[in-house]
Structure 1
Amino acid sequence: MKTFKEISLTMVCLVLGIIVAWQFRSVKYNQVLAQYEKKNVSEIIDELLMEKSNNDKLKVRLQELQQEVDAFKNDQTGDQNRLNALEKSVLEARIMAGLETVKGTGIVVAIEPGGFKTIEDRHIEELLNELKATDAQALCVNDERIVATSEIRNAGDYIMINGRQLVPP
């Protein structure tokens, strides 16, 4: 019988605890609602105007940031154009230095010795200098590219161009 009383008392205390917690929660919720009900219309209008003003400021800031983004995009386009121009200049310099292979229309000049005379390095140098004077580009002799630092020398019965031996005809 004693255990029945203890269990009953425990159950009653549990139910009372739940009811008190529920009531406390309800009172707290009602206080929040009462707080909003106490505000008069003029305070609500003031808050609304303040939020509209804040919204307008944020719109202006958004437009400023959008203009900055557009300026960065335009600057990036300018940077890309400068980068393309630099890449083109580097390619042209590499072509002139003989570091890039080139293709295209050109002329072929055949040199043949006359009589008992042979072709010497000075004959090839004179011909190349004349071609350079006429603004010829990408010169080569027997598939050996001629650049500003190319050397043409006689070495016995043959001619050396850039260290490569060419036998005269």
Structure 2
Amino acid sequence: MKTKKISSSISITILCLILGLALSWQFQSIRNNTSVMNLENQKKDDLVVKILNEQKNNENLKAKLNELQVQIGKFENASGNSDKNMKLLSDEINRLKIVAGLTDVKGKGVIITFAKEDSLNVADDDILSILNELRASDAQALAINEQRVIDTTEVRAAGSYIMVNGRHVIPPYQIKAIVDPDNAVNALNMIGGPLEKIKLFIDVSVQKSDEVVIPKISEELIKTGKLTTIESK
């Protein structure tokens, strides 16, 4: 009789262990599935953000095209009126100076700051990846530590420093951008975005600002001595 009771107790214990393991596995499976679903939802959200950014970029390009067409129309309408032509030319020169980075500018945007104590971990590729994402978000002006970034600006490592426009920039490294703040923050922080990898090793902050001031580039950095214009036929 005692043997039967012991056998029955062991059987119940084994059954409870099996049941406990089964419940544990089921709970783990549910948790894993939930994690996968959350990750998929995040990826979908990031994809939506990317699509919206691309749509915004297309709208901006269309707006720029319309602006150029309007400008051409103004020049055509001003034909024969010297005062009007001079005003249009002056306005166009000022606009081109802004585009070329030859004037100080300000506007809404973001400021990205790398922690000074992590400066040795900051690579030129980290900065370039952020600049590229900001450009993709339609940034209209960029600067690194008050050095204006234009199409010919180089960003490269030089020992323990970063070189921008041929000049050393000293930590803490700070990137300023005149850009739609919400679009920029969403693009920088999305899964697989530039900040995901950087934040594993570096303390970096992204701050929205209603007034980002970006200085003009030094005119000595604009080199055209090797360029020759091609006369139109």
Scaled to the shorter chain, the TM-score interval is: 0.3 to 0.5
Higher strand content, 1 or 2: 2
Higher helix content, 1 or 2: 1
**Structure of greater relative contact order (alpha carbons < 8 Å, 6+ residues apart):** 2
Structure with higher Rg: it is 1
